[in-house]
Structure 1
Amino acid sequence: MSVSRIPDAECGRRRLGRTSASAGGHSMARLKVLVFDPIAAGGIPARPLPQSLKRQGDMLHQALLADLDALSGIEVVSMTRSGAAPGHPAGVDGGNGAAGTAAATEAEKTKSAGWTKTPREGQATVRSRTWPAACSSASAPMLRGMHRFGAHLIAGMQAADAVWPLASESDGVLECLSLGVLRGKRILLGSAPGAVEVAASKLKLARVLADGGVAAVATYSPHAALPQDGGPWVVKPDDGAGCLDTRLFGDRAAALAWIRAHGADGYVLQPFVAGKLGSLSLICCDGAARVLACNQERVAMHDNRFHFLGSVVNGLADDDGVLARLAQQVAAAIPSLWGYVGVDFVLTAHGAMVLDVNPRLTTAYAGLHASIGCNPAGLVLDLLNGPGAMTAQALPAGMRRAVSVDVGVA
């Protein structure tokens, strides 16, 4: 299968498709993209999610669907929050609802054998281990209900050419989904599982960035020798996402005492770095990055815990190019990052320091299209043509504007 594009008059509104042979020669078939949200498919988070994170998930899901729907040559395969799309009992919307139902039924029948097989006429068979057996490399508990959402993923892949996973890297979920997509021989519209594995661990990420010469906030295990410097310290889950369960303590002793008191072996420590919090919205491919937006992050403190309030997309300027250089350094350090990537940083008097790398959609994506005057999903799909596509299409001149995305705190 080859992916073809015909230039359109508008940025990010390419006509996409795949060439298919027919009796009269070659015709352009629509590229079927599955947008897969494991929570919508029946997965239960391994740790409770606050309402603000659930709202972020819904917001990103709707924003991505809207962007994909605006692209010609794309057929969206999606799911509702209940795991079943209207009129499609298998939980698959678009493509082939009846085939999806049969595939899900067959998946349940063969689950006990350790394999799920869902054939479809005229397309390569999707054959994947049931879940979580397919994710043996992910050691975390991931989601309860894995068999259920695994069956939905396999049924959805049966109706699709490509899969865009919407999941956090926490608990091994995004890595698991990415492995499943590749094993199902579908196009993965996201970073390689190896990049996701690195980004899912604050300790691994800090080591990889340091090896790549990227300025990043130092990260320590509670059992490591910590610097003797005074000042406040931050405690957060090693595989956490965003501000979830992230706490500030007045000194190193208080931080370590909290970890010991709560038996929190899965936590890491970072010295608190004062500065302006921001993030980058990037598209990455083959070790290179393109900056779509420099965002201001709004974070509040309450009861010594950080609370994410939202982003101002393109709320930060990069007149001196410091943030653009940081983006290139991150992409070079983790060359298997692909598609949309978010980078959290703190901007200090001495420059920008990376806090986190998110190989997935971030909250800023919800306001990105309005901010840059260009369809970001189209820019990601253009990368299927290779890294040259990152600079082939300029963003509309003078279109960048600040757009606020609010998520609340509850």
Structure 2
Amino acid sequence: MKVFLFDYASGGGLSMQPLDHSLMRPGEIRHRALLSDLSAIAGIDIITTRDARLPKMDLCLSPTGAAVVIPVRNGFESYFTDCMEQADAVWLIAPESDDILENLSRQILSHNRILLGSTPAAIHIAASKLRTVRALAEAGIPVVETYTPEDVLPQHIAASAWVVKPDKGAGCRNSRIFSSPPKALAWIAANSDDNFILQPFMSGQPCSLCLICCNGVARVLSCNKQRIAVRDNQLYFLGSTINSFVDVTGDLDRLAQDIAAAIPGLWGYVGVDFIFTDTGPVVLEVNPQMTSSCAGLHASIDCNPAELVLGLLHETGMGSLLEKTLKATSVSIDVATFDTLQ
């Protein structure tokens, strides 16, 4: 099988813009981890793209792995189409903002290629934090209350602070914290070039789940603690510790199953961000693609996550995955150590 692995940011999607390593770095982390995992699978040929302005990739492939890297100049669209048509399947790493991930996924399906990711309909929901919390809340899943700047904020919320973030986007980019709704709304009014939402700050441990989903069923690969810093009202994601705790009660497995059922079409690798509060997990968002945690996932579970996802293409794939015993070694990921773009 030939797989086209496309990271929008470092793979040419930003080739018509000035270089911005802060935009490219998160995708680069995922891209390199996935490239390493795919190359270790027998029978997989890889084609990928690279913004021609970036340093050449120092590929760390397995002895049997092979990858063709296509340099991209002056727009990615024709390169993307050419690579997609050469491949049997496409694995995307792309922003949810501006519907980029959703639209590229639709394009792949329209060319009758295998999409190694969630359906466009599932991405449409999960890419929006507002649509996500509404879908999950309707299914009875605990979620953080989420509002638009136009909403009248309920009086019963007595939050110590409010978080403002783009409705579509992953991680902490452009996420800020304010001491009151008026201050948050004033900042949004002065920065109205993005579609922001507001959420009351929740006390607790920031956490995430790494899942593999298929046909409304989920398998938890890891339970992770996240490290978040605040500087000048800006939130920063510093990294996470993969499988840093165990789901002793089974609550997180049940949460994963409920999420997979509430958003039909989630497929393959899925991330869930939540706050572990005194009353249990409260979901912040669902990421319908690989997250930065994948950089340490292979070492943590002592199993190739990409191979697990490709196994879903077989009729018994999800059943075999549910029966598989995985290790859960604690692995720390520090995003600052992955600066390969300079």
Shared fold (TM-score, shorter chain, > 0.5) = yes
Which of 194, 218, 225 in structure 1 is aligned with 2:152? Answer: 225
Q: How far apart are 1:56 and its partner, in Å? A: 2.6
Q: Is the CA contact 1:60–1:365 (under 8 Å) kept in the aligned structure 2?
A: yes
2: CA distance, partners of 1:216 / 1:303:
27
Q: How far apart are 1:268 and its partner, in Å? A: 0.7
Q: Is the CA contact 2:10–2:28 (under 8 Å) kept in the aligned structure 1?
A: no
Per the alignment, do residues 296 and 50 of structure 1 end up closer, same or farther by CA in structure 2, a change over 3 Å counting? farther
Name the TM-score, length of structure 2 as normaliser.
0.88
State, as a whole percentage, how many aligned pairs show the same letter. Answer: 48
Match in the other structure for 1:390: 318
Q: What secondary structure does 1:182 align onto?
A: helix
2: CA distance, partners of 1:312 / 1:242:
15
1:296 aligns with 2:215: no
Higher mean displacement: 209-218 or 274-283: 209-218
2: CA distance, partners of 1:277 / 1:219:
17
Superposed counterparts of 1:351-370, under 5 Å: 351-370=280-299
- Listed as ranges, the gaps of 5+ residues in structure 1 are 1-30, 87-92, 105-144
Q: What secondary structure does 1:282 align onto?
A: strand
Per the alignment, do residues 316 and 50 of structure 1 end up closer, same or farther by CA in structure 2, a change over 3 Å counting? farther
Q: How far apart are 1:53 and its partner, in Å? A: 4.8
1:200 aligns with 2:170: no
Superposed counterparts of 1:320-359, under 5 Å: 320-359=249-288
Match in the other structure for 1:72: 42
Which of 133, 155, 173 in structure 2 is aligned with 1:244? Answer: 173
Runs of 4+ in 1 over 4 A off after TM superposition: 45-50, 83-86, 393-397
- Structure 1 or 2, whichever has the larger Rg, is 1
Which of 56, 60, 66 in structure 1 is aligned with 2:26? Answer: 56
Q: Is the CA contact 1:168–1:360 (under 8 Å) kept in the aligned structure 2?
A: no
AA partner of residue 85 (structure 2): Q
1: CA distance, partners of 2:236 / 2:80:
32
Q: How far apart are 1:238 and its partner, in Å? A: 1.1
Per the alignment, do residues 84 and 221 of structure 1 end up closer, same or farther by CA in structure 2, a change over 3 Å counting? closer
Deviations 1:150-185 (A, max 9, x none): 211111012110000111212211112101100111
Deviations 1:208-266 (A, max 9, x none): 11122211111101111111133211111111221011111112222122222333561
Match in the other structure for 1:35: 5
- Listed as ranges, the gaps of 5+ residues in structure 2 are 57-65
Per the alignment, do residues 352 and 85 of structure 1 end up closer, same or farther by CA in structure 2, a change over 3 Å counting? same
Higher mean displacement: 35-44 or 323-332: 35-44
Q: Is the CA contact 2:136–2:262 (under 8 Å) kept in the aligned structure 1?
A: yes
2: CA distance, partners of 1:173 / 1:46:
15
Q: What secondary structure does 1:408 align onto?
A: helix
1: CA distance, partners of 2:223 / 2:23:
22
2: CA distance, partners of 1:152 / 1:323:
41
Name the TM-score, length of structure 1 as normaliser.
0.74
2: CA distance, partners of 1:185 / 1:226:
45
Q: Which structure ranks higher in relative contact order (CA pairs < 8 Å, sequence separation ≥ 6)?
A: 2
2: CA distance, partners of 1:155 / 1:84:
21
Per the alignment, do residues 49 and 313 of structure 1 end up closer, same or farther by CA in structure 2, a change over 3 Å counting? farther
Deviations 1:266-313 (A, max 9, x none): 111111111101000000011110000011111001111110001111
Q: Is the CA contact 2:224–2:241 (under 8 Å) kept in the aligned structure 1?
A: yes
Q: How far apart are 1:51 and its partner, in Å? A: 3.8
AA partner of residue 268 (structure 2): G
Higher mean displacement: 307-316 or 226-235: 226-235
Q: How far apart are 1:390 and its partner, in Å? A: 2.4
Match in the other structure for 1:158: 85
Q: How far apart are 1:366 and its partner, in Å? A: 0.7
Match in the other structure for 1:401: 329
Deviations 1:63-98 (A, max 9, x none): 111111111121112223429998xxxxxx858x9x
2: CA distance, partners of 1:94 / 1:344:
32
2: CA distance, partners of 1:395 / 1:367:
19
Match in the other structure for 1:286: 215
Higher mean displacement: 195-204 or 367-376: 195-204
1: CA distance, partners of 2:166 / 2:103:
19
Per the alignment, do residues 249 and 156 of structure 1 end up closer, same or farther by CA in structure 2, a change over 3 Å counting? same
Question: What is the RMSD of the two structures over their aligned residues, measured on CA atoms?
Answer: 2.8
AA partner of residue 116 (structure 2): L
Q: How far apart are 1:316 and its partner, in Å? A: 2.2
Q: Is the CA contact 2:164–2:196 (under 8 Å) kept in the aligned structure 1?
A: yes
Deviations 1:312-343 (A, max 9, x none): 11112210111111111110000100000000
AA partner of residue 47 (structure 2): V
2: CA distance, partners of 1:302 / 1:36:
32
Q: What secondary structure does 1:368 align onto?
A: helix
Q: Is the CA contact 1:46–1:171 (under 8 Å) kept in the aligned structure 2?
A: no
Per the alignment, do residues 406 and 50 of structure 1 end up closer, same or farther by CA in structure 2, a change over 3 Å counting? farther
AA partner of residue 227 (structure 1): P
Q: How far apart are 1:50 and its partner, in Å? A: 6.3
1: CA distance, partners of 2:183 / 2:16:
27
Count of paired positions: 326
Q: Is the CA contact 1:234–1:270 (under 8 Å) kept in the aligned structure 2?
A: yes
